[in-house]
Amino acid sequence: MGDLRFNHMELTLPPGALDVGGIREDIRGFYSEVFEFDVKDIEIVNQNALMLRADRDLNQFILLTQMEKHMQSPGYDHLGFAYETRAEVEEVLEKCRKYQEKDDRVQLKLYEDLDTGRAIIKAFYVKYLLPIWFDVQSWEFKSAETEPAKRWTYA
């Protein structure tokens, strides 16, 4: 069996949610500026959905659709975003803070570094206009022996 890799996540919003008060453009602005997603309108399931694409080649994306039975996540449900370095996580956090200065709908949860014994995890959560948090993190392994045997490599 081959190695598993995530391809996409579909988030359902209430009917009309993407078409009220400029929300579609607000989502486009934040996720393209902060995470550098390629954000596109896409016709699918008989509606004008929104695709937040992390890369063009590997088809990693979040699809925003609108359904009567939509996602509701009042807790800390989240999707994790992994960066290679602490510096990258800090850069994304700074982008979130700057965006928050102009739009107070950006929610942040900040955490102290977590020492797992084999790695130091730098992480924070961010939530903006979607029914889910995003856990932005990097793992700094303490030695070659503590690094995982397999890692995704993008060329």
Question: Cα dist. 22→18, 108, 121, 122, 132 in Å?
Answer: 8, 22, 36, 33, 20
- 151: nearest Cα among 93, 84, 94: 84
pLDDT in tens, 44-69: 989 999 999 998 776 899 999 999 99
Number of residues that this document lists for the chain: 155
Q: Tell me the domains of the chain and their CATH numbers.
A: 1-70 (3.30.720), 72-155 (3.10.180.10)
In angstroms, the CA 17 to CA 116 distance is 40
Tokens, residue 71: 């996602």
Residue 154 in this model has a pLDDT that exceeds 60 = no
* C-beta neighbour count of 114 within 10 angstroms: 12
pLDDT in tens, 70-95: 999 988 999 999 999 999 999 999 99
Residue type at 26 in one-letter notation: D
Tell me the mean pLDDT in the region 39-47: 93
Phi, psi of 67 (to 5 degrees): -140, 155
- The DSSP output letter for 2 is P
Give me the pLDDT at residue 150, please. Answer: 64
